[in-house]
């Protein structure tokens, strides 16, 4: 792959790719350490962890309402709000005391942001495609 391909790339598309890469890294780190944090840091066993799944997945059920309410902002601003919520939720897990009630709120906020991001990233990515060039790879 030639390094000159960056010169011809749209600035907004580049930032979209860069943010997607950082979000992917962040979600990978989250997936790798959250279970250990819950078990080692909070002493959660299977029952507590199972009870945490409802508030963790509730944002997925609420997405129709939340994205509908935020739709007046457009895809990019709505996705930005989602990413900020994810960052706030994840950051609060590390900054605030490890209490179960705060954990529920922090995980809810983190997953609300993540669930806002997921459907919008595909539509934003497709918005960068030009007519007749969908599915075109970098090799030309």
pLDDT (average), residues 101-108: 88
Please give the mean pLDDT across all residues of the chain: 82
3-state DSSP assignment of residue 6:
helix
pLDDT digits (tens, 9 = 90+) for 61-75: 898 899 889 989 988
Our CA angle for 101, 102, 106, nearest 5°, is 125
Matching residue, tokens 């790719």 = 17
pLDDT digits (tens, 9 = 90+) for 23-60: 888 888 877 788 888 888 788 888 888 888 888 889 98
Q: DSSP letters of 29-95?
A: HHHHHHHHIIIIIT---HHHHHHHHHHHHHHHHHHHHHHHHHGGG-HHHHHHHHHHHHHHHHHHHHH
Answer for the pair 126, 74: CB distance below 8 angstroms, yes or no.
Answer: no
| The pLDDT value given to residue 73 | 92
| The pLDDT value given to residue 5 | 60
**pTM exceeds 0.75, yes or no:** yes
Q: What percent of the chain has pLDDT over 70?
A: 88
Indicate the pLDDT class of residue 134, thresholds 50, 70 and 90: low
| The pLDDT value given to residue 102 | 87
Query: In the numeric block, which tokens belong to residue 68?
Result: 């509908």
| The pLDDT value given to residue 133 | 65
Indicate the pLDDT class of residue 135, thresholds 50, 70 and 90: low
- Closest alpha carbon to 111 in 38, 53, 39, 45: 53
Of 34-38, 129-133, 134-138, give the lowest mean pLDDT range: 134-138
Residue 88 has pLDDT above 90, yes or no: yes
């Amino acid at each position: 792959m030639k390094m000159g391909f960056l010169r011809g790339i749209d600035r907004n598309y580049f930032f979209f790719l860069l943010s997607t890469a950082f979000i992917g890294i962040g979600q990978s780190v989250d997936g790798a350490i959250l279970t250990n944090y819950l078990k080692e840091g909070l002493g959660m066993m299977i029952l507590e962890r199972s009870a945490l799944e409802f508030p963790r997945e509730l944002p997925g059920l609420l997405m129709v309402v939340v994205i509908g309410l935020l739709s007046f902002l457009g895809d990019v601003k709505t996705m930005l709000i989602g990413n900020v919520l994810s960052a706030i939720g994840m950051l609060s897990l590390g900054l605030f005391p490890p209490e179960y009630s705060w954990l529920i709120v922090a995980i809810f906020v983190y997953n609300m942001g993540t669930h806002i991001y997921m459907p919008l990233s595909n539509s934003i990515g497709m918005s960068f495609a030009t007519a007749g060039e969908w599915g075109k790879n970098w090799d030309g």
